[in-house]
Structure 1
Amino acid sequence: MILRRIARPMLSSIFIISGFDAVRQPTGRADMAGDFIESSLNALPPTVSGVLPSDPATLVRINGAAQVLGGLMLATGRYPRLAATGLAGSLVVTTFAGHPFWQETDPAKRAAQKANFLKNVSLTGGLLIAAADTEGKPSLAWRGRRRAEAAQAALAAALPVAAKTAPTAWDSLVERTQEGAAALAERSEDAAGILRERAPELAEAARERSAEIAEKVRDRAPEIAEKVRDRAPEIAEAARERSAEIAELIGERAPEIAEAGRRRWRKVAS
C-alpha cells in the first residue's frame, strides 16, 4: 500500500538522524543520562549489571546504533513490525533518561524538556500502531480462530458417519425398550385370551368348590355349636370380671375425665 511506503520513512526519519548523531557525539547525551543510567544499573541484579557496560557514553552509542538499524528496517519495510517494536523500546529509555522535566527548576528548561517528553510519548504511540499493523494479513488470533472453526466443522461432519456405522448406547437402549414393550404386549394378549377361554371352566370349578365348602360347614355346624355351648359360661364369667374392672377404672378416672372435658369446652367456647 502506498500509504505505508510514505508513512514508514516519515516515522523512522527522526530515529535514523538522532541515532546517527548519538553514535558520533555521545558526550552530551551521556552527561544528561548519567544519573539515570547509574540508578538503573544499581537496580538490576548483579548477574545482569555485570554483563552490561557501565560507561554512559558506550550505552548511548549502543542505543543510537539500535535506533539507526531499527529506523532503516522500518523505512525500507524489512521486518517492519519487529523494527517498530525495537524502536519503541529504545525510545522509552531515551525519554526517561534524556528528558526528566520533573527534575528541572528553571521554568524555560522545564517547559522544553516537557515538550520533548510528550513528543517522544506521541512517537511511541505511533510505533505501537506500526508494530500492530499486519498489512491486511490475518493476525495470529484470526488464524487461530479459523483453525478452531475448521476443526469443529470437521468434527461435526464426521459425527453423522460415526453414528451410522456404530449405533450409540442411547440408540441401543431405545431399541431394547421398544422390543421389551412389544413382547409385554404380546404376553398380555396371550394371557387375556387364555383367561377368556378358561373362564367357563374356572366358574364351574368355583361352583363345585363352593358347594363342597358349604357341605363341610353344614357337617361341622353341630360340633361348632356344641363347643360354643361348652365355653359359654367361661366366656360370660370372663366378661363379668372385665366389666367390673372396667367400671372401677372408669369410676376412678371420672373426675379427671370430666375436668379435661370442661377445659376443652371452655377453650372451644372462648
Structure 2
Amino acid sequence: MSRRQQGARALTALRVAALIAGATVMTTPFLYMLSTSFKPQAFVLTTPPQFIPDPFTWGNYAQAWTTQDFARYAANSVIVAVVSTALSVLISSMMAYGFARFEFRGREVLFRVLLIGLMVPAMMLIIPQFVLAKYFNLLDSLAGLIVFYVAGSLALNVFLLRGFFAALPGELDQAMQIDGANAWTRYWRLAIPLARPALATATIFTFLASWDEFAWALTIINNPDNRTLPIAIQLFQGQNATQWGLVFAASVIAIVPVIVVYLVFQRHFVQGLTSGAVKG
C-alpha cells in the first residue's frame, strides 16, 4: 500500500472519528432527556447518571398529558403551527416567484429591504410587535401568534424560494405563455410542483419556528385556554422543586410532531436547502 493510500485511509478514519464524536455530543443530551422521562422522580438525579431507567415507568407521560390541560395546549400548538406554516409558505412562495420571474422597478431594493428581517434579532422586535398587536386587537389570541409567526418567517422563506425559482428554466414559462397561461397558472401549475424541495425546506423551518417559539407566546398570551406547548412545559417547573421526569416527558411529547414533519419532508430537505442557498 502506497503512502498516499495510507494517508487517505488515515484521513478518512480521522473524519469518521470526528463525526462520531460530534454525533455523540449532539445526541447525548437528547438520550438523557428521553431516559429521564421514564424515571420516577426519586431516581432522576442519581449519581452517576443512568441512561437505562431502573425502575422504568410510563407515569410521567400519563401525568404530563392529563395535568394542567396539556392536551388543549397541544391542540393550540398544532393549530398555530399548521396555519402559520401554510400561510407563510403560500405567501412567501408567491413573493419569491414575483422576485424571481418579474422585472419591475425597485425589485432588488425591495428584496434587500426584506432581507433586513434576517439581520434583526427577534427579541429586539418584541416591544414593537406588542404595540402593533395591541393596536390591532391581537393580544391574548391564537391569531396574534399566527400573524407574527408568518411575518417573522417570510424573509428566510423568500430568500430560499427565490433562488430555487430563479434556477428554473425560463423556457418553461415562455412555453406556457404561448399556450395562454397567465402568471397565476404558471406559478401554481409549473413553479410550485417543481419547487417541492425548496417548499419542503421552508415548511420544516417554519413549522419548527412556530412550534417551539416561547418568548412571543409568553408575552401576549394570558388566557390559559390559549396557551401553547412551550408555555405548558414551563408551567411544570416549580418555584422550589422541579419534577424533571415530568418536564422531560412533556418535552418528548412536544418533539414528536417536529420529528414527524421532518421525516415527511426530509427526502427533499437537503436538495431544497442547498438550492436556495447557492442559486439566484
TM tier, smaller: under 0.3
Q: Greater helix percent: which structure?
A: 1
Task: Select the structure with the greater relative contact order (CA < 8 A; seq sep ≥ 6).
Answer: 2
Q: TM-score, normalised by structure 2?
A: 0.19
Structure number with bigger Rg: 1
